[in-house]
Amino acid sequence: MSHHYHPDPGKEVRLKDYITRFEGDFDKDEAAAEEAELEERLANLQERLYAESKQSLLVVLQAMDAGGKDGTIKHVFDAVNPQGVRITSFKVPTAEELVHDFLWRIHQHTPPKGYIGIFNRSHYEDVLVVRVNDLVSKSVWKARYDHINNFERLLVDSGTRILKFFLHISKDEQKERFQDRLDRPDKRWKFSMGDLPVREKWDDYMEAYEDVLTRCNTEYAPWYIIPADRKWYRNYIVTKVIVETLEAMNPQFPPAEEGLDKVVIPD
Ligand code: AMP
Ligand code: MG
């Protein structure tokens, strides 16, 4: 079921062909039951990954504002040992970051062996917000798709698995979530005036996302387009893809040191 949300590499993606709201024959209670079991597997796999210390997993999350990046991190990873997880949120680049190539700040945060790295926004901002707002010239951002593919190839060749999730919400759903943020005192801090001009450029963003999902959806670093209007379904699918991927990575506890069975702990 989850593979279904990964377009075939090379295929041109049109976001209109991808649902934002899951309406199938599977409900929230069924998802919750399966998710509890998935989370147990995830916790176990993460422990093995950490103990083995030979490979790592990078999870990239991209979405429009209120698309659920924070909520996904909170729900999917709540059962794992925080010691083995590194989360990085990429903001507007600093002056120092801007005087380097666009991957410089990213590379410092890729997960070391044994770790799961989570990117809340990522190097993809450099062909999304940067493109939509003409922050660099077209010839500069156009060259970045190849740079990104090569960069991700380097990471994969160095022992990192990469999973990329686009949390796909409808424009109506974003409106509801923004309204909720405005109405609830405990959520107001999440709303920024700057979110509105971004919403106005929705169609430009969708076009930029379509290029990302077409040009950087490789066999070695796949994109998943997750129907994200329903949070429980989003969390369930993202958890499932991560667990299946870690299972395929098959991390093993390292062999114990020789002679451990003869050890007597002194008084
Ligand atoms: P938030 O995720 O709500 O904390 O916002 C972070 C902001 O940083 C968003 O508006 C992003 O579009 C922006 N941002 C992240 N990366 C870049 C980048 N490379 N260039 C310009 N803006 C960026
Ligand atoms: Mg935001």
Q: Which atom number of ligand 1 is nearest to the Cα of residue 123?
A: 19
Nearest CA to ligand 1 atom 14: 92
Residue 198 CA: which ligand is closest? Answer: 1
In sequence order, which residues have a C-beta less than 8 Å from that of residue 54 and are 6 or more positions away?
113, 114, 159, 251
Superfamily of domain 2-250: P-loop containing nucleotide triphosphate hydrolases (3.40.50.300)
| pLDDT tens column, 75-126 | 999 989 999 999 999 999 999 999 999 999 999 999 999 999 999 999 999 9
Q: From the CA of 34, how far away is ligand 2's center (Å)? A: 30
Residue 138's CB is within 10 A of a number of other CB atoms, namely: 9
- % pLDDT > 70, the chain: 99
Q: Which atom number of ligand 1 is nearest to the Cα of residue 102?
A: 19
Q: Is residue 1's pLDDT more than 90?
A: no
Nearest CA among 45, 40, 68 for reference residue 246: 45
The pLDDT, as a whole number, for residue 4 is 85
Q: Which atom number of ligand 1 is nearest to the Cα of residue 129?
A: 12
Q: From the CA of 256, how far away is ligand 1's center (Å)? A: 45
Residue 42's CB is within 10 A of a number of other CB atoms, namely: 23
- CA dist 249 → 55, 84, 181 (Å): 8, 16, 39
pTM over 0.95: yes
Q: From the CA of 70, how far away is ligand 1's center (Å)? A: 14
Mean pLDDT computed over 188-204: 97
Nearest CA to ligand 1 atom 6: 91
Nearest CA to ligand 1 atom 22: 92
| pLDDT tens column, 211-255 | 999 999 999 999 999 999 999 999 999 999 999 999 999 999 999
In sequence order, which residues have a C-beta less than 8 Å from that of residue 5 and are 6 or more positions away?
18, 224, 225, 226, 227, 237, 241
Distance CA 123, CA 106 (A): 7
Nearest CA among 236, 218, 235, 234 for reference residue 226: 234
Mean pLDDT computed over 156-163: 98
The pLDDT, as a whole number, for residue 65 is 98
Pocket-forming residues, ligand 1, beta carbon under 6 Å: 90-93, 121, 125-126, 129-130
Q: Bridge partners of 59?
A: 118, 163
CB-CB contact of 122 with 60 (8 Å): yes
Distance CA 91, CA 259 (A): 50
Residue 106 CA: which ligand is closest? Answer: 1
Q: Is residue 2's pLDDT more than 80?
A: no
- % pLDDT > 90, the chain: 97
More confident residue, 49 or 257: 49
| pLDDT tens column, 29-38 | 999 999 999 9
The pLDDT, as a whole number, for residue 29 is 95
